[in-house]
Structure 1
Amino acid sequence: MKVFNRVVVFFGVVFFCSLLAQNTDGLENTNLSEDKIGVQGNWVKKKEWLKESDKINREIQFVVESIQSFAQKYSQEYLPIDALLDAFYKKEGFNQASINALFVSVNNYLQKQKKKYLEQSDRGVISIEEISLDEILEDNKKLIKNVEQLKLDIKSINDLDKGLNDRLKKVEEFVLMANEESIKSSNMVDEIWNIIDDKKARLIFYKLKGENLEKVNAIKKYITETLYNDFNNYLDNIKKQMDLVSNQIQELESKGIVIRERAERIQKIKEENLLKTKEQQEDISKRPEIKFWYQKVYYMFVDIFAKLYNFFN
């Protein structure tokens, strides 16, 4: 009798637990609309769609993880270039905010000198004096061209540096996009667990496979191939451009034009500019009257190199 009573109690507990489980399932589904989960369906087929969807989701998670891992290569390869850029600006005496100020005064001065002496040369035939003057003006023209080319090449370095940073931002955007697809895919698989209609489960599977998986694969291809190749081209170009500018600076310095450490001295030069201009005007007023062409050429040389010396030193 005692054994019988124990059996009755055991089956009673099992029956009670089964009722609780049924009630719990009912509570879980009460918040889901029939349009979303359906009202009937083939449980076996639904289970298969769930299984296949889970496989796709795991594949998506794997692709996203590979995207996140590969994205770190961008930062790893940019850091050495960033250090090279800092060393370049320090070595050559530039900073990115002072490049225009470095060249504008030289260009303006030489242009004014050219205009000044062309206006003074009002003779109608080419004389020996004019040939000498033309040669000097031609040298000034070449100097202007070289300085302007240097300015463009340094600007190119700035543009390339900005391009690298833009591409790093794009990497962040696409990694974030891939992460969003990862979360979305996991939620879609969770949704199948609550679905009753196997046809609705099938629709989710094909959406996972045809949209979500394709999207993360496209992001991976862009991050690891298209954008990465473009990024490396920028890295190579910026190295070449830094070498080019360094060589140009050496060439200009070989002609007596000192450019290094200009960034630190620009402000000081501006402060002294008015005083130097006044002193130069006083010096000009003390000069003897110019009667011969070679005096004109001599003082022109003095003016030009005094200005260049003051500007670059």
Structure 2
Amino acid sequence: MDTLNIINNYNAEDYITASLISQLNEGETKDRNVDENDDIRNILMEMHLQGNQASLELDKFKTKVRDDLLFEAIYYVYKPTLKDRISPRTEALSKTLVKDFISENGSYELLKRYKHESALLSNLYSIIENYAGMILEKVDKDNVNTFSIDTDLKDDFFNTLEAEDFQSISTLVNQRIAGAIDEFIIDNQQTKAQIRDIVAQTKERIDTKQNMPQDIEEAYNEQCKTRIANLKRNKTKTVLEALIYNIAESAIRKPELREVYFSGNKPDMDLIVDEATTVYSLLETLNTYKFARVNEDYIVKTLDSFRM
């Protein structure tokens, strides 16, 4: 058959159809390959994300273990300083204060410093790291549902703290707290005496003048109030007294705090003094045990936090 006959006998539609079918088949194969690759990629991505999530959860749990053990250790030596001031309210406050201290500074950073801070804290560091390791050995690191602190190990941890006699320094802490309370009481009595003198002087001025005009008498009384306010504001305050003053002042200014710290129309000074002493007790505990470097900046920051 010559070339012309071959061309004449060839069906153009058949050629186009066959070509299209071939292209479609190739496209389907490519699409299928792409889909399969996407599926594999998605699976690998999901496995990677799950792995990352599991790693993140494990890191969180490691931090939680050290947070909890350090909290228990600090609270163990702090609680005896609260003595007869302990109540559901002050207990809740004291626990919150310790947790906030650890949260703000980070258990890892604190423990890293304790390792070389003193013999006592170095020993505490070793105990916490030892028990943290034993707790982590008890969990399945690939199963978040097992991330919990073994109660038996926690009991052993408390027994170890007791055996090491970590509360031995609490006597010194209590002496310092008692001294601060005595100083506050004496200073408060002296301030009250000064206030009585100011009031007596004002009364004498008014009484010695017959038929004093009402506006003059009011001016004397305002002057008396100003002198008393200035006396309270400008007097040098101890740390404990400053805490008491800041809490009381905030309670007077803020309605939501009045509901907590007021009894009738007057500040509940017993409650205010108890809570201020609870805060001061933690400061003395942190300072004496060297849990924190309680310098002037640290004290100012603490006082400011209670100027609400």
> Larger radius of gyration, structure 1 or 2?
1
Which TM-score bucket, shorter chain as reference? under 0.3
Q: TM-score when scaled to structure 2?
A: 0.26
Greater relative contact order, per chain length (Cα 8 Å cut-off, separation 6+): 1
